[in-house]
């Protein structure tokens, strides 16, 4: 494999096609923040602003500024979104809304703790870019709110009756693996270590099921399997994405065993989640093979494939696993031939099982300036180390 030309391919796609797409199409000059509902050509088709995606774009441009090049226009793009988020994104107590209308009036209450997670990432990264203490304070306070809400993330909006079938979800410990490194520079080192160790334990010991070699999306508070729709649910992309967060932590901790285990989970999940008939990775599966509640279970989503590329190339980088490299080639081919748009910039997000475009959008309620550019950056940087 020609790592040098591959690195170029990822770099060029990021810097010449994907980032320019968002620079050109997403900035809402009069009202602030970003448009994310963009059609195939980049035209705005809806003006609602989703806090996940506003914050992720602030993070992305700050991160490019910090890691690739200190371009003033990247920093300005990040601060443009940050101003909108500071003014409109939260309820005054740094509880972050889920969505806002174009001018910033809140549409959906702060029921979703991941809005807070992405706000933390955004302001943590922007603080690194600027040294502005205001940003540090927002990131830190929001992070503390997340830890306080951790055991009851939805609060009053939780429709589950508390005691009948208590379950905990994989998403929060998974994201804490990434978040704790993202804002390490803002936290007391004991809190960082403690958060990391707890998150690694949850992901690798509690949600990971050694019998199947797979990670479950929901388990009982004691970490057991629940034979219910929620308990049987697998989200292969989620599990695989978490593994590159774990690899980053294993690298930092110089924990070879943890690294090997993360690589094994990537490969086991991929073997299980790959669609043998049409290629690509399924969105949802039931661990007992029953029908899922998710009607979109067989669709092929951009982030699933891009996050898998990151985990595979990092797995190869750290362990030299040939299986990682073979899979990387296969997933790379699928991803570039199905998600990249030969006619326009940025990538498609939603394909049907056969790999045909299901929704011709480049951005929407859940797809913004995040997984494609972050993935291109991560793979590019890893390939640079391999060449």
365 touches a second copy (CB under 8 A): yes
- Residue nearer to a second copy on the CB measure, 62 or 299: 299
Residue 206 Cβ, how far from a second copy at the closest point, in Å? 22
Please identify, among the stretches 57-65, 99-107, 237-245, 323-331, the one whose residues bind a second copy according to the rule CB under 8 A.
99-107
Report angle CA 325, 2, 63 to the nearest 5 degrees. Answer: 80
- Give, as ranges, the residues between 109 and 128 that touch a second copy (CB under 8 A): 109, 111
Q: Are the C-beta atoms of residues 132 and 124 closer than 8 Å to each other?
A: no
46 touches a second copy (CB under 8 A): yes
- Give, as ranges, the residues between 278 and 317 that touch a second copy (CB under 8 A): 288, 290-293, 295-299
359 touches a second copy (CB under 8 A): yes
Which residues are CB-neighbours of 337 under 8 A, at least 6 positions away? none
Which one of residues 350, 370, 377, 380 is an interface residue with a second copy (CB under 8 A)? 350
Residue 36 Cβ, how far from a second copy at the closest point, in Å? 12
DSSP annotation string for 71-110: -HHHHHHHHHHHHHHHHHSB-SSSPBPSEE-TTS-EEE-S
165 touches a second copy (CB under 8 A): yes
SS3 of residue 37 by DSSP: strand
272 touches a second copy (CB under 8 A): no
358 touches a second copy (CB under 8 A): yes
Phi–psi pair at 241, nearest 5 degrees: -60, -45
360 touches a second copy (CB under 8 A): yes
251 touches a second copy (CB under 8 A): no
CA distance 156 to 159: 8
- How large is the C-alpha radius of gyration of the chain? 20
Closest to 323 in 3D by CA, of 375, 265, 383: 265
CA distance 254 to 250: 6
Which one of residues 24, 157, 201, 333 is an interface residue with a second copy (CB under 8 A)? 157
- Residue nearer to a second copy on the CB measure, 260 or 292: 292
Q: Match 């040939």 to its residue by tokens.
A: 322
List residues binding a second copy (CB under 8 A).
37, 39, 45-46, 48, 97-98, 101, 105-109, 111, 156-157, 159-161, 164-165, 228-229, 288, 290-293, 295-299, 350, 352-353, 358-361, 364-365
């Amino acid at each position: 494999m020609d790592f040098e030309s591959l690195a170029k391919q990822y770099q060029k796609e990021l810097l010449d096609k994907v980032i320019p797409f968002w620079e050109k199409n997403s900035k809402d000059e009069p009202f602030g923040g970003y448009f994310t509902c963009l059609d195939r050509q980049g035209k705005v088709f809806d003006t609602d602003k989703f806090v996940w995606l506003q914050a992720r774009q602030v993070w992305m441009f700050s991160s490019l500024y910090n890691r690739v090049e200190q371009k003033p226009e990247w920093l300005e793009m990040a601060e443009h979104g940050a101003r909108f988020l500071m003014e409109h994104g939260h309820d005054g107590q740094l509880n972050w809304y889920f969505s806002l209308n174009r001018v910033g009036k809140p549409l959906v209450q702060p029921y979703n703790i991941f809005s807070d997670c992405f706000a933390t990432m955004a302001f943590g990264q922007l603080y690194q870019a600027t040294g502005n203490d205001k940003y540090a304070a927002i990131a830190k306070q929001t992070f503390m709110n997340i830890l306080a809400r951790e055991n009851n993330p939805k609060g009053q909006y939780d429709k589950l009756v508390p005691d009948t079938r208590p379950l905990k979800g994989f998403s929060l410990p998974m994201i804490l693996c990434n978040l704790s490194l993202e804002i390490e520079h803002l936290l007391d080192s004991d809190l960082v270590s403690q958060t990391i160790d707890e998150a690694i334990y949850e992901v690798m010991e509690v949600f990971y099921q050694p019998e199947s070699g797979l990670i479950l999306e929901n388990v009982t508070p004691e970490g057991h399997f629940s034979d219910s729709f929620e308990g049987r649910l697998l989200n292969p992309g989620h599990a695989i994405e978490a593994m590159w967060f774990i690899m980053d932590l294993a690298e930092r901790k110089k924990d070879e065993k943890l690294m090997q285990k993360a690589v094994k989970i990537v490969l086991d999940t991929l073997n299980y989640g790959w669609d043998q008939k049409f290629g690509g990775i399924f969105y949802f599966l039931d661990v007992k093979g029953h029908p899922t509640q998710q009607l979109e279970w067989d669709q092929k989503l951009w982030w699933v494939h891009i996050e898998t590329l990151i985990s595979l190339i990092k797995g190869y980088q750290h362990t030299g696993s040939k299986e990682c490299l073979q899979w990387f080639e296969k997933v790379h081919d699928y991803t570039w031939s199905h998600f990249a748009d030969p006619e326009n910039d940025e990538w498609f997000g939603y394909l049907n099982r056969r790999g045909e475009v299901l929704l011709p959008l480049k951005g929407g309620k859940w797809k913004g300036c995040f997984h494609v550019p972050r993935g291109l950056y991560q793979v590019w940087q890893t390939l640079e180390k391999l060449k």
